[in-house]
């Protein structure tokens, strides 16, 4: 199952001018726990997806917020010559197709 089918929000944004942060959020604890238990989201898969060194990837599991977060240094500082996204808001789409390994027979309420 693709992450975009389970998450209620996948977004990217600047965290200051030098970092990009990505949030993956769920409507309820059940769906968050399923994805957490799958271990499909981790620093290694993000580093491969965004072709960046794994040691620059910070990964957080936010149990109270029912959310995951990834943060990486921006390839270019905000507004630098060549920067095509001032707010960093349109960098998240590769995350949408990440496959989440779910237990066989697991039923999911598809978001859309």
By CB under 8 A, name the binding residues for other proteins: 13-19, 21, 23, 25, 49-51, 58, 60, 62, 64-67, 69, 71, 75-85, 90-91, 94
> At closest approach, how far in Å is the CB of 9 from other proteins?
9
> At closest approach, how far in Å is the CB of 110 from other proteins?
20
DSSP character at residue 46: H
Considering just the CA atoms, what is the radius of gyration of the chain in Å? 14
DSSP character at residue 83: -
Mark residue 54 as left, alpha or beta (left: phi above 0; alpha: psi -120 to 50; beta: remaining). alpha
> At closest approach, how far in Å is the CB of 105 from other proteins?
28
With H, G, I as helix, E, B as strand and everything else as coil, classify residue 5. Answer: helix
Residue 111 structure tokens: 């978001």
Residue 31 structure tokens: 């769906």
For other proteins, the closer of residues 66 and 104 by Cβ is 66
For other proteins, the closer of residues 16 and 103 by Cβ is 16
For other proteins, the closer of residues 16 and 37 by Cβ is 16
């Amino acid at each position: 199952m693709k992450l975009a089918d389970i998450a209620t929000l996948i977004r990217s944004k600047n965290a200051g001018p030098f970092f990009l942060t990505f949030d993956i959020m769920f409507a309820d604890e059940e769906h968050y726990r399923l994805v957490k238990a799958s271990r499909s989201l981790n620093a290694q898969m993000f580093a491969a997806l965004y072709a960046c060194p794994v040691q620059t990837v910070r990964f957080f599991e936010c149990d109270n917020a029912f959310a995951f977060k990834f943060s990486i240094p921006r390839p270019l500082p905000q507004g630098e010559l060549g920067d095509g996204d001032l707010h960093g808001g349109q960098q998240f789409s590769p995350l949408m197709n990440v496959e989440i390994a779910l237990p066989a027979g697991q039923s999911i309420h598809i978001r859309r």
